[in-house]
A and B are shown apart, each in its own frame.
Chain A
Amino acid sequence: MALCDVLPGFLCKFPAFDEASIRMARKTVDDGFKAIVRSYIDLIDAAVQPLQWFLNYLERLFVTSPWPIILILMLAIVYFGSRNIRITIGTAVSMLAIGLLGLWNDTMVTLAMVTVCTLIAIVIGIPIGIMMARSDRVQSFINPILDVMQTMPSFVYLIPVVMIFGIGKVPGLIAVVIYAVPPMIRLTNLGIRLVDKEVLEAADAFGSSGWQKLKNVQMPLALPTIMAGINQTIMMSLAMVVVASMVGVGGLGKNVLQAINNQFFTVGFLNGFALVAIAIIFDRTSQAYGRRLQKHSEVIHG
């Protein structure tokens, strides 16, 4: 005999609101949201227009430039960033492989997308991180928002993004930035908060203003942590680019999406590996660059 035979019904089946009222509530929220979006559509479009231009410009630049120029430029950036010949050779080999497999153009589209997303994430993330570090109040307000942004399944916030901005590159870009900006904010905040109190006190004792303290002490000393944040942001943008292809972002992500829909095993993996290659190039280069910035802390007096 099951326990539910003797218990009153509401203890066995959770007493939910009845379906009609839930449907009503849902409809009200959705319709209200749509109405708001509809009335501000021009404003929203105008606001994101610059993003569209920037993204299109960069994409066209990457795709239409002759590939040797892009390749040489990329190798130069990697070499001067990392000063490491192995990373540079690895970059050359993987980019050539990508080109030989016919993925060059798609890779360029993805590269443009990730570049723009990372830049936006840095521009938004660092000031917010600084504000969080300066005030516990701001921190306790922003932290839960970041928690939601990071744990909310990425597909879910594609919905409001699409409702507001429609289908296309810019909504994809916004979704990627939302997904990728939290580590930038968190690590900027953490880096500044971890700055040695003694050094800050010294800066105060010499009469530094708030801005001088930020510029001369806090930001430089937080830089390794901030670099780790940038690195994380790049990695997360690359991961999200695939998901964002569902709302119309082109490039490698779109190929992966098509491969899923059509069960093209080989295509899926080749595009996947191309993404992995870009990710590793970005990761190794930015980490090596970050370490080079910290050269002063390596030589310890014995």
Chain B
Amino acid sequence: MASHAIEVKNLYKIFGPNGKAYVDAVKKGLGKAELNEKHGHVLGLQDINISMPAGGVMVVMGLSGSGKSTLIRHINRLIDPTAGEVLYDGVDVCKMNENDLREFRRHKTAMVFQKFALLPHRTVIENTVYGLEIQGVAADASRKRAQGWIERVGLKGFENHYPNQLSGGMQQRVGLARALTNDADILLMDEAYSALDPLIRVDMQTVLLDLQKELKKTVVFITHDLDEALRLGDKIAILRDGKVVQQGTGQEIVLNPADDYITAFVKEVNRGRVIHVETIMHPLGAGPQGVPVAAGTALEGAARMMSAARSTTAHVVDANGKPVGALDLATIITAMVTPADHQQKAA
């Protein structure tokens, strides 16, 4: 069962009793502030077009109020759109009837929540089987599957604890196990790690990346943290005031921020972990020199290999081991520090 991509097309959400009436006005350029002041409606999302890669991690990033949580709730239609489409495997989620939608939610999606949203009166294992239970899977079969995922997220021995007895990080592991037990194609993670301590957050990111390597689900991950977005995202979309300001790979966003807003964001980023060697390599001159570095390695990794080999030069090799470009330490250092014009723009 291969995962499918999710296509969000021309999505609008206007909160208020009569949102539909203002879609056309918004399309013609009615602003968020004006809509709120004159008509008492809140513009949640406007003209969202995102193609979320099948089997990849799509990160939607934005600050609070940017509409990112609203956007993710459109994918399993916890929120109904005012206009637009959300296509999964050719079907518009927004047009499903109640029954189809319930089946879609049961079998195709699973969600992890910022505040965990576990059932406090159920133990870890009872929480984990929840999705299967409402699908009507037999109790012993679902327990067996749940047990496997509980062990995968590192909660072995805690099956019969109540959520209240666990720390935040452990509770979110339960949330993740609950979602994974559902074995759905789409994994929706709504600021799943935002409530966790920084160290535990990095830990949980690693858990997700490791799992994703073998699961290849279509993950939609919401965050307000750019470092998290860059670490996890195969593709990143940045949202501001309900609009997509920029979308692309992490590298594209860091190297070519679309406007001052994003420039200010990426200023503090550790570029050495985002930019890949093939982005800055120059043509091979007199044949490969120094240490070989695989394409797709981040600059930090390349620099580490070069200093370990006490070499100031290196060459990039592709997947077949064929040299494709040359590198030297000076180029790497230049690329790793934030360009001066970005610094000024952001200041």
**Which residues of A are in contact with B by a Cβ distance under 8 Å?**
196, 198-199, 201-202, 204-209, 212, 216-217, 220-221, 223, 296-301
- Residue pairs across A and B with CB atoms within 8 Å: the count is 74
Given contacts A299-B165, A301-B166, contact A199 B182 (CB under 8 A): no
A44 to B131, CA, bound (A): 48
Q: Is B202 an interface residue (CB 8 A)?
A: no
Interface contact A206-B166, CB-CB below 8 Å: no
Give the contacting residue for A301; candidates B113, B115, B135, B164; CB below 8 A.
B164
Nearest residue, chain B, Cβ from A198 = B117
Contact B115 A216 (CB under 8 A): no
Give A296 to B121 CA distance when docked, in angstroms.
6
Q: Report how far A163 CA is from B206 CA in the complex, Å.
A: 75
Mark each residue of chain B from 123 to 159: 1 if its CB lies under 8 Å from any CB of chain A, else 0: 0000000110111000000000000000000000000
Q: Is B102 part of the binding interface, using a Cβ–Cβ cutoff of 8 Å?
A: yes
Whether A201 contacts B134 in the complex (CB less than 8 A), given A297-B164, A299-B165, comes out as: no
Apart from the given pairs A300-B164, A301-B164, 14 other A-B contacts in the complex at a CB distance below 8 Å: A196-B117, A198-B113, A199-B117, A202-B111, A202-B113, A202-B117, A202-B118, A205-B78, A205-B110, A206-B131, A209-B134, A216-B119, A220-B121, A301-B166
In the complex, 10 of the A-B residue pairs with CB atoms within 8 angstroms, ordered by the A residue number, are A201-B78, A204-B105, A206-B105, A207-B103, A207-B105, A207-B107, A212-B134, A296-B121, A299-B164, A299-B165
Q: Which residues of B from 52 to 81 have beta carbons under 8 Å from A?
A: 76, 78
Candidates A198, A207, A220, A223; contact of B115 at CB < 8 Å: A198
CB distance from B196 to the nearest CB of A (A): 14
Q: Given contacts A202-B111, A206-B182, are A216 and B120 in contact (CB under 8 A)? A: no
Asked whether, in the complex, the Cβ of B119 is within 8 Å of the Cβ of A220, the reply is: yes
B167 at the interface (CB under 8 A from A): yes
Chain B positions within 8 Å of A, measured between CB atoms, are: 76, 78, 102-107, 109-111, 113, 115, 117-121, 130-131, 133-135, 162, 164-167, 182, 188
Q: Which residues of A contact B117 (CB under 8 A)?
A: 196, 198-199, 201-202
Please indicate the chain B residues that have their CB under 8 angstroms from the CB of A301 in the complex: 164-167
Contacts of B188 in A (CB 8 A): 205
Most B C-beta atoms less than 10 A away, residue of A217, A220, A296, A297: A296
Closest to B135 in A: A207
In the complex, A186→B318 CA distance in Å? Answer: 70
A216 and B134 form a contact (CB under 8 A): yes
User: What residues of chain A lie closer than 8 Å to B162, measured between beta carbons?
Assistant: 296-297, 299
Q: Give the CA-CA distance A198 to B121 in the complex, in Å.
A: 15
Known A212-B134, A297-B164; judge A206-B119 contact (CB<8 A): no
How far apart sit A205 and B104, CA to CA, in the bound complex (Å)? 10
Contact of A209 among B76, B102, B131 (CB under 8 A): B102
**Cα of A274 to Cα of B99 in the assembled complex, Å:** 57
Closest-by-CB residue of B relative to A215 is B134
Whether B164 lies near A201 (C-beta < 8 A) is no
Bound-state CA distance A221–B119 (Å) is 8
Tell whether, in the assembled complex, residue B120 and residue A297 are in contact, meaning their CB atoms are under 8 Å apart: yes
CA gap between A202 and B113 in the complex, in Å: 8
Q: Closest Cβ of chain B: how far from A14's Cβ, in Å?
A: 45
Question: Which A residues lie within 8 Å of B182 (CB)?
Answer: 206
Contact A206 B120 (CB under 8 A): no
By the criterion CB–CB under 8 Å, are B130 and A221 in contact?
no
Known: A199-B119, A221-B120, A296-B120. A206 touches B130 (CB 8 A): yes
Name, among A201, A207, A297, A301, the residue most crowded by chain B CB atoms within 10 Å (CB to CB): A207
Complex: how many Å from CA A202 to CA B131? 10
Docked complex Cα distance between A204 and B102 (Å): 8
Report whether A207 and B134 are in contact in the complex, using a CB–CB cutoff of 8 Å: yes
In the bound complex, do residue A206 and residue B106 qualify as a contact, i.e. CB atoms below 8 Å apart? yes
B residues near A207, Cβ cutoff 8 Å: 102-107, 131, 134-135
Q: Which of A216, A220, A301 gathers most chain B CB within 10 Å?
A: A301
Is the beta-carbon distance between B130 and A216 smaller than 8 angstroms?
yes
CB distance from B28 to the nearest CB of A (A): 34
List residues of chain B with CB within 8 A of the CB of A202: 111, 113, 117-118
Q: Which residue of B lies closest to A213 (CB)?
A: B134
Q: How far is it, in angstroms, between the C-alpha of A298 and the C-alpha of B130 when the chains are bound?
A: 22
**Shortest beta-carbon distance from A301 to chain B in Å:** 5
Specify which chain B residues have a CB less than 8 angstroms from the CB of A206 in the assembled complex. Answer: 105-106, 110-111, 130-131, 134, 182
- Chain A residues positioned under 8 Å from B76 (CB to CB): 205
Knowing A205-B111, A216-B130 touch, does A296 contact B164 (C-beta < 8 A)? yes
Would A205 and B105 be within 8 Å (CB), given that A198-B115, A217-B119, A221-B121 are in contact? yes
| Most chain B Cβ neighbours within 10 Å, of A206, A208, A216, A301 | A206
Nearest residue in B to A217 (C-beta to C-beta)?
A: B119
Q: How far is the CA of A221 from the CA of B117 in the complex (A)?
A: 13
Within the complex, what minimum Cβ distance (angstroms) separates B96 from chain A?
Answer: 12
B84 nearest CB across to chain A (Å): 20
List residues of chain B with CB within 8 A of the CB of A204: 78, 105
Q: Which residue of A lies closest to B166 (CB)?
A: A301
Give the distance in Å from the alpha carbon of A196 to the alpha carbon of B163 in the complex.
15
Which A-B residue pairs are the 6 nearest by beta carbons?
A: A207-B106, A207-B105, A202-B117, A296-B162, A205-B111, A198-B117
Measured between beta carbons, the chain A residues less than 8 angstroms from B115 are 198
Cα A198 to Cα B135 with chains together (Å): 21
A301 to B188 CA separation, bound complex (whole angstroms): 27
The residue in chain B whose Cβ has the minimal distance to the Cβ of A201 is B78
* Contacts A217-B119, A296-B164, A301-B165; A208 near B111 (Cβ below 8 A): no
**A205 CA / B109 CA spacing, docked (Å):** 8
Residues of B within 8 A of A199 (CB): 117-120
**Whole-angstrom distance between the alpha carbons of A297 and B131 in the complex?**
22
Whole-angstrom CA separation of A261 from B234 in the bound complex: 86
- Closest-CB distance, B125 to chain A (whole angstroms): 13
Shortest C-beta distance, B53 to chain A (Å), equals: 22
